[in-house]
Chains A and B, each alone.
Chain A
């Protein structure tokens, strides 16, 4: 059974650019959530999607957005990148969004 797949693994972007990250959940899982991990703030919740609908959103600016497709794959987008957006972005999938969260290996984003 394949795990959660995140692409790309590494990204380097320049301030002001935008970036799109992708997450493919475990087959059959309908919930995908995104987290930002930094040394200073730890793991922080970005948003969660279930059956293409955003059900919950964390305290991040509107530059952070996401979507989910009918096959449950999800993307998150960050526009107008800032240096502080440099982080490990993690995606987690769950069958229902309540229990059993499995994380991917993350996308390491560096903004220069």
Chain B
């Protein structure tokens, strides 16, 4: 079945430190990956995406790394801020036909002031 999983359910990080969130995906046919942030009561908010022809992509304070050899995706957040506290999801497209995202279970990030 659809399986995109996160290794750690909760990550506590000190404000100002860097955060790393990991995600394992199961289908090597996936060719597009997205990280979303979801705050309580809101819909998922796009953070950054990466296509399978890349292994790294950087945004503002965020970096996504893709390792297709071991089917692993990670999100790095630099200088974590209290506003980064949320649930983070990885999602993949292309594994089960295009036009449908398969999501991981989510990883709670708690920023300690």
Chain A contacts to B: CB under 8 angstroms: 4, 6, 31, 33, 35, 42-45, 48, 50, 55-56, 58, 90, 92, 97-106
Distance of A35 Cα from B102 Cα, bound (Å) = 10
Task: List, sorted by A's number, 21 A–B pairs whose CB atoms are closer than 8 Å.
Answer: A4-B43, A6-B43, A33-B101, A35-B101, A42-B104, A43-B44, A43-B89, A43-B91, A43-B103, A45-B100, A45-B101, A48-B100, A55-B99, A56-B97, A56-B98, A56-B100, A98-B93, A98-B99, A99-B49, A100-B46, A106-B43
Determine if A103 and B43 form an interchain contact, defined as CB atoms under 8 angstroms apart. Answer: yes
Distance of A97 Cα from B105 Cα, bound (Å) = 22
How many chain B residues sit at the interface, stated as a range, is 20 to 34
Distance of A4 Cα from B46 Cα, bound (Å) = 13
Q: How many A-B residue pairs have CB under 8 A?
A: 62
B104: chain A residues within 8 A (beta carbon): 42
Q: Is B42 an interface residue, CB under 8 A from the partner?
A: yes
Determine if A102 and B46 form an interchain contact, defined as CB atoms under 8 angstroms apart. Answer: yes
Determine if B102 and A104 form an interchain contact, defined as CB atoms under 8 angstroms apart. Answer: no
The chain A residue sitting closest to B46, CB to CB, is A102
Determine if B32 and A99 form an interchain contact, defined as CB atoms under 8 angstroms apart. Answer: yes
Q: Which A-B residue pairs are the 4 nearest by beta carbons? A: A97-B99, A43-B103, A103-B43, A48-B99
Q: Is B10 an interface residue, CB under 8 A from the partner?
A: no
The chain A residue sitting closest to B89, CB to CB, is A43
Asked whether A98 and B32 contact (CB < 8 A) given A43-B89, A90-B43, A103-B43, the answer is yes
